[in-house]
């Protein structure tokens, strides 16, 4: 069976000013899909961190480079949830070298990858076929993460 098409595909420039639009899109979509409010906020944060990492590290703060975000409303197993890919044209690096810092070593910076891995069920970095990197993030919609209880409680 062929891979289903994403329900949303956007291309944005690597200017931090546009991060707000991307995270608001994710926030609104995840709420509509049924994620709890706090869970939606955490997912939007993880996406924001992934985009910020591309801008900071992949593109060294250049403002005019492309970033593509694609969203599916199912996990790869076909379950309700999210699959989000972030792709860039940055220099390819060893995916195994991408890791969060030791949280006990408190210092400014280095939290983005930790946040992504903490929030998402799965986060996989890989080299794209031709140029750049791809991050795939998976988050299943489970009874614990839905807002049915929020509605039930008014």
Which residues contact other proteins by CB under 8 A?
A: 15-17, 19-20, 23, 38, 41-42, 45, 48-49, 52, 55-56, 103, 106-109, 111-112, 114-115, 118-119
Closer to other proteins by CB, 33 or 43: give it.
Answer: 43
Taking the complex as a whole, how short is the minimal distance between the CB of residue 46 and other proteins, in angstroms?
9
Taking the complex as a whole, how short is the minimal distance between the CB of residue 119 and other proteins, in angstroms?
7
Taking the complex as a whole, how short is the minimal distance between the CB of residue 92 and other proteins, in angstroms?
23
Closer to other proteins by CB, 26 or 72: give it.
Answer: 26
Helix 112-119 to helix 37-53 angle (10° resolution) is 140
Closer to other proteins by CB, 53 or 85: give it.
Answer: 53
Taking the complex as a whole, how short is the minimal distance between the CB of residue 118 and other proteins, in angstroms?
5
Closer to other proteins by CB, 66 or 118: give it.
Answer: 118
Picking from 95, 84, 73, 98, the residue whose alpha carbon sits closest to that of residue 44 is 84
């Amino acid at each position: 069976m062929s891979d289903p098409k994403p329900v949303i595909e956007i291309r944005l420039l690597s200017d931090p000013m546009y991060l707000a639009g991307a995270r608001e899109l994710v926030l609104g979509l995840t709420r509509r899909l049924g994620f709890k409010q706090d869970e939606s906020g955490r997912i939007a944060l993880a996406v924001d961190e992934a985009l910020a990492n591309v801008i900071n590290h992949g593109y060294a703060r250049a403002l005019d480079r492309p970033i593509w975000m694609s969203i599916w409303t199912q996990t790869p197993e076909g379950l309700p949830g999210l699959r989000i890919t972030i792709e860039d044209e940055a220099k390819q690096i060893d995916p195994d070298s991408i890791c969060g810092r030791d949280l006990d070593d408190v210092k400014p910076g280095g939290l983005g990858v930790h946040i992504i891995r903490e929030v998402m069920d799965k986060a996989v970095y890989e080299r794209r076929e031709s140029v750049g990197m791809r991050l795939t993030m998976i988050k299943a919609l489970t009874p614990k993460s839905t807002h049915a209880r929020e509605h039930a409680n008014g």
